[in-house]
Amino acid sequence: MQVTLQTLIGGLSLGAVYALVAMGFSLVYRTMGLVNFAHGNVVTLGAYVASTFYMSVKLPFALAMIVAIVVTGIVGFVIEFVLRPLENKDFDLMLIGTIGFGIVLDALAIIIWGATGRAVPSPVPAAPIDLFGLRIRTYDLVVLAIAAVAMVLLMLFLSRTKRGTAMQAVAMDHEAATAVGIHVGRSNSIAFVIGAGLAALAGGLVGPLLYVSPTMGGALGIKGFAGAILGGFGNIPGAILGGLAIGVLDAFAAGHFQGYSELVTFLVFTAIIMIRPTGIFGERTVNRA
């Protein structure tokens, strides 16, 4: 039982990172109807920027994370700005454009930081917490707390602010939102900026858990994408639940199947999607293809 609970907590910690990635995917899709295939590459960029300012510049971890979020937010704005002329004109070219941006970001990461990667020390050097016989890594609790705050803030932004409400309106009916004076381009930019910020937060948080390398965004992007699909693509609460589920499934698969853990994870994911193709919440918000 103790091993099971410790595995569950570790899975939730990694799942919280996947959930942040999934939220970024879902937010952009929800607003624009576009799958941003550069999202995983933005995770890599965020991880490198955060680790650089934390380890080399010696900023506190929280400040390094803020810098990474700002940098990737600018990158997200640039991606949306370049792709904006294609919206409602050439959807396929927009998809290819996000793939192209992803390739460019990976190449830049290798040029700037090299291809060897780096290990990031935990910003919380405290010993594991002993709770009823369970030894819980303090940093796992930090990741869960930060991710939870980010999730709550995003939900509040979408439901309680005028800009968030406008983004919801764009997601529900693009043409009607335009007709009532909502600036669709601005809503799309905000979606990309927030999505990129979530990617940076995920990348920065996962650095001390994993190994920061140019390929890390690929794995995190795929699992975050799977979490978004599992929850119901375009559904933000679904993305949170789906990301957590993928993390827990991944942790238990690693404990029981070791080298075959990812195969088992995606076999289970595939089985669930075959039973419920639209995901847990079954929402498809927009379809402009």
Q: What is the pLDDT of residues 63-102, one digit of tens each?
A: 999 999 999 999 999 999 998 888 767 778 889 999 999 9
User: Does domain 2-115+135-275 sit in CATH 1.10.3470.10?
Assistant: yes
Q: Is 223 helix (H, G, I), strand (E, B) or coil?
A: helix
pLDDT-flagged residues of the chain (< 50): 284-289
Q: How far apart are CA 113 and CA 136, in angstroms?
A: 32
Q: What is the DSSP letter of 161?
A: S
Residues paired with residue 130 on neighbouring β-strands, in sequence order: 135
State the chain's maximal CA–CA distance in angstroms: 60
Total-model pTM:
0.91
How far is residue 70 from each of residues 94, 133, 194, 197, measured CA to CA in Å? 24, 41, 10, 7
Q: What is the pLDDT of residues 19-60, one digit of tens each?
A: 999 999 999 998 888 899 999 999 999 999 999 999 999 999
d(CA 83, CA 68): 23
Cα four-point dihedral sign 120, 126, 128, 131: negative
Domain ranges of the chain: 2-115+135-275
Q: Mean pLDDT over all residues of the chain?
A: 88
Taking the CB of residue 148, how many other CB atoms lie within 10 A of it? 13
* Interacting residues of 82 by C-beta distance below 8 A, sequence separation 6+: 97, 101
Q: Do the beta carbons of residue 287 and residue 172 sit within 8 Å?
A: no
